[in-house]
Chain A
Amino acid sequence: MPDFDDNICQQRTTAPPSQDAEKSTISAVWGRVDINEVGPLALGRVLIVYPWTQRYFGSFGDVSTPAAIMGNPKVAAHGKVVCGALDNAVKNMGNILATYKSLSETHANKLFVDPDNFRVLADVLTIVIAAKFGASFTPEIQATWQKFMKVVVAAMGSRYF
């Protein structure tokens, strides 16, 4: 079982950033993110762009149009919850697998969420952050951020099987 918190070995032509540099990049990105703004934007965008994800939010009320989704207070509240959990990953970057163990179990055994959705949310969150940051979200920063997201997504799926 691979240790998700190690650098994934890859053939490279240039030196990779050190793990400390990566952690510092991730913290710097997260430090600029307003959870209360980005969470609702990201979750709302997932529900609009991938409408089948609405299957998990039957009790949230009106999600029939993009305007309804972006104005829905339950969607916004849940977006903040999800981003809050990401905050936990940033604060425990050396230990994401263990940090997300019970969250993964909950999503697998109680919420019955298809784990592919974690990857979908990660990709949309990256797009929302890119829109906010503009050109300062450089290719190198995107690469490191997405590597972190990959670890988070794997940790969220880790208790499914």
Chain B
Amino acid sequence: MSLTAKDKSVVKAFWGKVSGKADVVGAEALGRMLTAYPQTKTYFSHWADLSPGSDPVKKHGSTIMGAIGNAVGVIDDLVGGLSALSDLHAFKLRVDPGNFKILSHNILVTLAIHFPRDFTPEVHIAVDKFLAALSAALADKYR
């Protein structure tokens, strides 16, 4: 399901609104994922505190959203632009790529909460497609 020109422009426009709150959104999405999908906690056994709002969750949520913001910038070539991150996830972190979908869902929930008027069905489909394409690019090097 490749991104159309319209999808890309909708994502870029919406991300312009999101970027000011990116840290908050990232931290909250990660906290929601760890709470609602406890199996994802298995990747963070090295953190002292996995609760929503904890320091490691806030810091890592910010890292993730920063990377997603960068991906918006390379939206015309996600596989190329995310190549190094794909290497990281494939060979070092070895996160089961099924989890990308789970995090994506929690990002959508968080966006709906923080941008209830802007997160229209039209924005929802574009962002959902973008996160799916991003996830595929992130999994590109796995095998």
Which residues on A are within 8 Å of B, measured CB to CB? 10, 12-13, 44-45, 48-49, 66, 69-70, 123, 126-128, 130-135, 137, 139-140, 142-143, 146
Which residues on B are within 8 Å of A, measured CB to CB? 28, 31-32, 34-36, 38-39, 41, 50, 52, 105, 108-109, 112-113, 116, 119-122, 124-125, 128
B110 CB to closest chain A CB (Å) equals 8
Given A130-B112, A132-B116: A10 touches B124 (CB 8 Å cut-off): no
A127 contacts B124, CB within 8 Å?
Answer: yes
B109 contacts which of A48, A49, A69, A130 (Cβ < 8 Å)? A130
B46 CB to closest chain A CB (Å) equals 13
CA distance A132 to B119 in the complex (A): 12
Residues from chain B with a CB closer than 8 A to the CB of A130 are: 109, 112-113
Residues from chain A with a CB closer than 8 A to the CB of B35 are: 139-140, 142-143
B122 contacts which of A12, A48, A133, A140 (Cβ < 8 Å)? A48
Residues from chain B with a CB closer than 8 A to the CB of A143 are: 35-36, 38
Instruction: List, sorted by A's number, 18 A–B pairs whose CB atoms are closer than 8 Å.
Output: A12-B38, A13-B50, A44-B121, A45-B121, A48-B121, A48-B124, A66-B121, A69-B121, A128-B112, A130-B113, A131-B112, A132-B116, A139-B31, A139-B32, A139-B35, A139-B36, A142-B32, A146-B36
Residues from chain B with a CB closer than 8 A to the CB of A48 are: 121-122, 124-125
Given A48-B121, A49-B128, A66-B121: A131 touches B113 (CB 8 Å cut-off): yes
The residue of chain A having its C-beta at the shortest distance from the C-beta of B45 within the complex is A13
